[in-house]
Amino acid sequence: MHLSIRESDTKRRSSRDSEWRRGLRSLQRSPLAVLGLVIIGFLVVLAIFAPSLAPYSPTKMSLSERLSPPSSTHIFGTDDVGRDILSRVIYGSRISLRICTLVVGLTIGIGTILGIISGYWGGWIDELIMRISDVFLAFPALILAMAIAAALGPSLENVIIAMVVIWWPRYARVTRGQVLVLREIDYIVAARAVGVHESRIIMRHILPNCVSPVLIQATLDLGEVLLTAATLSFIGFGAQPPTPEWGAMISLGRNYLRDNWWYATFPGLAILVTVIGFNLLGDAARDILDPRLRHGAR
Amino acid sequence: MNLLTYIVKRVFLIVPIVLGVLAITFLISHIVPGDAAQLMAGPRATPEIIERLRHEHGLDRPLYVQFGIYIAHVFRGDLGKSILTRRPVAADILGYFPATFELTTTALLLAIIVGIPLGIVSAVHKDKVLDQFSRLTSVIGVSMPIFWMGLLLMLVFYVRLGVLPGPGRITGASPSHITGLFILDSVLTGDWRALGDSLLNLVMPAFVLGNAVLARVVRMTRSSMLDVFGQDYIQTARAKGLIERAVVYKHALRNALIPTLTVVGLAYGELLGGAVATELIFAWPGMAHYVVRSMTSLDFPAIMGVTMVIALIYILVNLLVDISYAFIDPRIRY
């Protein structure tokens, strides 16, 4: 019995491998997905090599050069205290990536654990977790995040905490749904019947099969996480000056909009392009990883 | 199960959620680092004043007692008094609500009226130029930071070109107050100048706010139309020689609208959130304005009240969406 489970496991693994290969092939066929990949790849490079790529320090002020329009010395112009906007946008990519990976990473962790508990054991604990997640989903995300961030005090860390608090139910739901299906599949029922330890069933059989729905949800969410965080910073609850966070930069640039269009325009463009990249990647991930869509009309 | 039983059942299902929403808004005011009474009293208050405030607001009692009192007050429509405006929070919210309602509703209507036809066209011409164009604009639409788009539109159409009015709900005098909804009030009083004025003022904010939802509506309509196109009964309709227009609009659309409706319901939450940035940019005197002001000044009764009311509106909209399913699709009742 054990042997056959292992065999079916190997089979599944090789079918997963070919799924990835098929995924790569369809990625090559979709120019928009490639564009998404290029944008995010570029962002990661910017974030890693920010100190060598940025022409100036993101915080160095130069009052003699304040509010100078885009030129060959300052490609994106300078802000109200003479800081180079290009350098600040480049350094801002670090903050954006940090927010996205922390929020999505933490919510995946919390959400997946709760989703597995909920779906695998069912009963009152399932009922409890799902009702709590219902309540969190009943709030418009931004409003609840604002309330939590306001109560905790304005800072980037608190924005991340607030967003994790409101975001986990999505992953708990996705994972629970997947676990409910998996629980009834023959080889898992069989594994339980022969007395395989539950932690082993979860780690070896349940968890690996939750990876792709969670991954789809995560790539689709990245853009929204970035937009929400930028909005919170713009309103004043997130990153505080002089942090080169894109939303906070727009908030400062807003006061100089009439005569200095570049100040708020370039950080906004950075947000737009990054979120487009995440969304294109999310669509591609869904098309590639979601088996229901693979043969569908979409 | 008949329609009425279904509706009653759905209404009862939201009771625990509403209680949960109350619990969370209540907890938010208790996670604040530091002492709420101290905050209320201000930095120069004597210990006696702080103690008195603490007692007056019941802050010296156990948490569950405080929560019980809070629920009892809320069910009586008493959301407490704002520290900032010194007025009842419920009255404040009621005063700001019409502006937000007018803005979000116009944005939503815009998204539906433009989005559904665009989604249909996209699905009918799948993978053609028109479809590719609408898909690309949808991706850009959902990726656009609302506050940034608002700023740029304001810069171009108000500051530079001067073709659209700038901040605020109305340029001239407001119409006489009946409902607080400027469009409705100006129609009711026959004040056509106010009507034109408030419509012009709505153009940019409603466009900015509706944009993100528009993209979602287009995407959902497109993909559910494509799903329906693959169904047997559509093949049958085509096979029996029905003209394409009848197949698309009479057979496919009605079924494709259900997922779109869900998206619209869920998107209302996004509209309420997005209204915060939009109202800030366009100096729109709505609830979101009130939200930000109360949150930046830690006006807790106002924060609790307004967060709860917005969540309730969101729950209510989704309840209405659920109920309207039953009208569109009789299968759902069973």
Spell out the residues 6+ positions from residue B285 whose beta carbon is closer than 8 angstroms to its own: B96, B99, B168, B169, B279
- B20 min Cα distance to partner chain A (Å): 6
Task: Flag whether B229 is in a domain.
Answer: yes
Domain stops at, among B75, B109, B124? B75
- B178 min Cα distance to partner chain A (Å): 29
Task: For residue A135, list chain B residues with Cβ-Cβ distance below 8 A.
Answer: 17, 20-21, 23-24
- Tens-place pLDDT, residues A72-88: 888 888 888 888 889 99
The residue-averaged pLDDT of A269-278 equals 94
Q: Does B262 touch chain A (CB under 8 A)?
A: no
Q: Compute the Cα dihedral for A268, A273, A278, A280 and give only its sign.
A: positive
Among the listed residues A160, A280, A279, A143, the one whose alpha carbon sits nearest the alpha carbon of residue A223: A279
Radius of gyration of chain B (CA): 24
Residue A273: pLDDT band (50, 70, 90) is very high
The residue ranges of every structural domain in chain A are 29-58+76-297
* Residue among A141, A152, A272 whose CB faces B273 most closely: A141
Do both B253 and B215 map to the same domain?
yes
- Tens-place pLDDT, residues A32-77: 788 889 999 999 999 999 888 888 888 888 788 788 788 888 888 8
Higher-confidence residue: A90 or B266? A90
Q: Around A184, how many Cα atoms within 13 Å sit in the side-chain half-sphere?
A: 7
Task: For residue A131, list chain B residues with Cβ-Cβ distance below 8 A.
Answer: 16-17, 20
Q: Compute the Cα dihedral for A71, A72, A75, A80 and give only its sign.
A: negative
- Tens-place pLDDT, residues B74-103: 888 888 888 888 889 999 999 899 999 999
* Residue among A135, A234, A296 whose CB faces B147 most closely: A234
* Residue among A132, A247, A280 whose CB faces B139 most closely: A280
Q: Please check whether residue A217 is in contact with residue A282, taking contact to mean a CB–CB distance below 8 angstroms.
A: no
What pLDDT was estimated at residue A129? Answer: 92
Task: For residue B307, list chain A residues with Cβ-Cβ distance below 8 A.
Answer: 139, 143-144, 147
Residue A10: pLDDT band (50, 70, 90) is low
Do both B171 and B41 map to the same domain?
no
Measured distance CA(B183)–CA(B285) in Å, rounded? 15
Measured distance CA(A182)–CA(A174) in Å, rounded? 13
CATH number at residue B176: 1.10.3720.10
- A176 min Cα distance to partner chain B (Å): 20
Task: Flag whether B87 is in a domain.
Answer: no
What pLDDT was estimated at residue A18? Answer: 67
- B52 min Cα distance to partner chain A (Å): 23
What pLDDT was estimated at residue A1? Answer: 43
Task: Flag whether B321 is in a domain.
Answer: no
Task: Flag whether B32 is in a domain.
Answer: yes
Measured distance CA(B120)–CA(B126) in Å, rounded? 10
* Residue among A138, A234, A271 whose CB faces B311 most closely: A138
Q: Do A147 and B307 touch (CB under 8 A)?
A: yes
Measured distance CA(A234)–CA(A272) in Å, rounded? 14
Do both B283 and B179 map to the same domain?
yes
pTM, two decimals, is: 0.86
Which residue(s) pair with B81 in the sheet? Answer: B88
Do both B280 and B217 map to the same domain?
yes
What pLDDT was estimated at residue A23? Answer: 67
Q: What is the DSSP string of chain A?
A: -HHHHHHHHHHHHHHHHHHHHHHHHHHHH-HHHHHHHHHHHHHHHHHHTHHHH-SS-SS---GGGTTPPS-SSSTT-B-TT--BHHHHHHHHHHHHHHHHHHHHHHHHHHHHHHHHHHHHH-HHHHHHHHHHHHHHHTS-HHHHHHHHHHHH-SSHHHHHHHHHHHHHHHHHHHHHHHHHHHHTSHHHHHHHHTT--HHHIIIIIIHHHHHHHHHHHHHHHHHHHHHHHHHHHHHTSS--TTS--HHHHHHHHGGGTTT-HHHHHHHHHHHHHHHHHHHHHHHHHHHHH-HHHHSS--
What is the domain class of A29-58+76-297 according to CATH? mainly alpha
* Residue among B25, B143, B276 whose CB faces A142 most closely: B276
Structure-token pair, residue B166: 């700038």
Q: Does A136 touch chain B (CB under 8 A)?
A: yes
Q: Give the nearest chain A residue to B132 (CA atoms).
A: A32
Average pLDDT, chain B: 84
What pLDDT was estimated at residue B9? Answer: 84
Decide if the complex's ipTM is over 0.90: no
Do both B111 and B65 map to the same domain?
no
Which amino acid does the sequence have at B231?
Q
Q: Going from the first residue of chain B to its last (334 residues), give the mean pLDDT of each consecutive group of 10, the final group possibly shorter.
A: 79 88 86 68 78 77 85 87 86 90 92 90 84 84 91 91 86 80 84 85 92 86 84 82 79 80 81 88 88 84 88 87 76 59
Do both B50 and B147 map to the same domain?
no
Q: Do B32 and A152 touch (CB under 8 A)?
A: yes
Task: For residue B263, list chain A residues with Cβ-Cβ distance below 8 A.
Answer: none
Q: Does B315 touch chain A (CB under 8 A)?
A: yes
Do both B163 and B268 map to the same domain?
yes
Q: Give the nearest chain A residue to B155 (CA atoms).
A: A258
Task: For residue B310, list chain A residues with Cβ-Cβ distance below 8 A.
Answer: 139-140, 143
Task: Flag whether B82 is in a domain.
Answer: no
Spell out the residues 6+ positions from residue A95 whose beta carbon is closer than 8 angstroms to its own: A156, A239, A243, A244, A245, A246
Q: Does B71 touch chain A (CB under 8 A)?
A: no
Spell out the residues 6+ positions from residue A251 whose beta carbon is closer than 8 angstroms to its own: A233, A234, A235, A236
Do both B117 and B265 map to the same domain?
yes
Provide the 3-class DSSP secondary structure of residue B88.
strand
Q: Please check whether residue A33 is in contact with residue A281, taking contact to mean a CB–CB distance below 8 angstroms.
A: yes
Spell out the residues 6+ positions from residue A193 whose beta carbon is closer than 8 angstroms to its own: none
Q: Do A296 and B227 touch (CB under 8 A)?
A: yes
Reported as type and span, the H/E element at residue B162 is none
* Total number of residues shown for chain B: 334
Q: Tell me the C-alpha to C-alpha distance, in Å, between residue A239 and each of A147, A223, B33.
A: 16, 18, 19
Q: Does A134 touch chain B (CB under 8 A)?
A: yes
- Tens-place pLDDT, residues A158-200: 999 999 999 999 999 999 988 988 888 888 888 888 888 888 8
The residue-averaged pLDDT of A122-144 equals 89
Domains held by chain B: number: 2
Q: Please check whether residue B265 is in contact with residue B321, taking contact to mean a CB–CB distance below 8 angstroms.
A: yes
Q: Does B233 touch chain A (CB under 8 A)?
A: no
Q: Containing domain of residue B149, as a range?
A: 101-295
Q: Do B147 and A152 touch (CB under 8 A)?
A: no
Q: Does B197 touch chain A (CB under 8 A)?
A: no
Which amino acid does the sequence have at B149?
M
Among the listed residues B179, B3, B41, B12, the one whose alpha carbon sits nearest the alpha carbon of residue B105: B179
Task: For residue A257, list chain B residues with Cβ-Cβ distance below 8 A.
Answer: 151, 154-155, 159
Measured distance CA(A153)–CA(B52) in Å, rounded? 26
- B291 min Cα distance to partner chain A (Å): 8
* Residue among B23, B140, B147 whose CB faces A231 most closely: B147
Q: Tell me the C-alpha to C-alpha distance, in Å, between residue A168 and each of A89, A100, A178, A289, B100.
A: 29, 14, 16, 21, 29
* Residue among A150, A279, A297 whose CB faces B143 most closely: A279
What pLDDT was estimated at residue A3? Answer: 46
